[in-house]
Structure 1
Amino acid sequence: MSTLKKVVLIDDDQVNNFVCESIIKNEDFAEEVCSFEWAEDALNHLKDMATASPGNFPELIFLDINMPGMDGWQFMDEYKKFPEDLTSKCCLFMLSSAVDRKDIITAKNLLDVKEFFSKPLSTEILNIIKEDYIQQ
C-alpha cells in the first residue's frame, strides 16, 4: 500500500522529474505523481485542486529553487496564499541542486518548507520523509 495519495514534483528538468517519478513509484511511496516543468503550471494545478477538489490537494510537494519563469521562491510566495487547512496537510520539501549556502539557509527558514534536500532524490530521502514527516 502506498504511503501517500498524491505527490507533486516541480522542476524544470524533465529527466530529473522522470527519475523522481520512477523512484517514487518503485518505492510505492505514492499512488499518484504529477510532474510540472513550470512552477506556474503547478500553481494553477494546485489552485484548481484547492477550488474544485480540495480532498485531492497533494500531501507532498518537491520544489526546485532555480527554474526559468517563476522560481521556487516566487512559487513559495504564492503557495503561502493557499488556505492553511490545505497547506497544513501538505509537506513541502525543497529538492534542488542549489549549492549557494544562502539558498539552503533561506529554504530551511521558511515555515512552509519542511526540509532542504540535495538532488538527486533517493530511496534514503524517501525513507527520511516517511520516518520524520509522514504519519503512518
Structure 2
Amino acid sequence: MPFRSQFIIIEDNLIDQFVTKKLLKKGLDINPLYIANNGKEGIDWLTGNPDHHSLIIFLDIQMPIMNGFEFLDEFDKLPENVKDRIEIFVLSSTLDSDEIKKVRENKYVSDFWNKPFRLELLQKTFV
C-alpha cells in the first residue's frame, strides 16, 4: 500500500536525488515524488501547493541559489496552517559539527540523516 504523505526532495545533486528517490520508492512505494533543485524551488513549490494534507521534506544543506538554512528561514515565514502539516528531515553528508548542531537546533527539523540514508532507517521512521 502506498504511503499517504507526499514527499519532496530538495537537493541539487542529481545522484543524491536519484538515490533518495529509489530508496523512497523501494522502502515506502512513494509515488508521486516531487524534486526541487534548491531551496528557492522548494519554497516556490510549497507556496504554489499550499493544500497538501501531509508533506515530508528531505532537505539538503549545501545548494546553490538558496541553501538549506536559507530555506528554513523562508519556511519560518509560511503560514502556521501550512507549516503544521510538514515534517522536515535534513539529509546531508556534512561533517561540520557547527552545521549539524544548527540543523538539530532548528525547531522545524524532525531529524538529521547522513546521506545516503539506510533503508532500515526510512522504514523504522515511517512504517
TM (normalized to structure 1)? 0.85
Q: Is the 1:62–1:94 Cα contact (8 Å) retained in structure 2? A: yes
Tell me which residue corresponds to 2:61. Answer: 65
Tell me which residue corresponds to 1:129. Answer: 125
Sequence identity, in percent?
Answer: 27
Q: Aligned with 1:116: secondary structure? A: strand
Deviations 1:4-60 (A, max 9, x none): 33100011101110111111111234332111112211211111012xxx1x26510
Tell me which residue corresponds to 1:47. Answer: 47
Give distance in 1, aligned partners of 2:38 and 2:85.
23
CA drift of 1:126 comes to 0.7
Q: Aligned with 2:101: secondary structure? A: helix
1:102 to 95, 98, 102: 98
2:14 is equivalent to residue 2 of structure 1: no
Q: Is the 2:5–2:53 Cα contact (8 Å) retained in structure 1? A: no
Question: Superposition RMSD on alpha carbons, in Å?
Answer: 1.5
Q: What is the one-letter code of the residue matched to 1:96?
A: S
Tell me which residue corresponds to 1:22. Answer: 22
1:126–1:29 Cα change, 3 Å: farther
2:74 to 58, 78, 102: 78
1:16–1:57 Cα change, 3 Å: farther
Count of paired positions: 127
> Any stretches of 5+ residues in structure 2 without a counterpart?
none
TM (normalized to structure 2)? 0.91
1:82–1:100 Cα change, 3 Å: same
1:57–1:48 Cα change, 3 Å: farther
> Any stretches of 5+ residues in structure 1 without a counterpart?
132-136
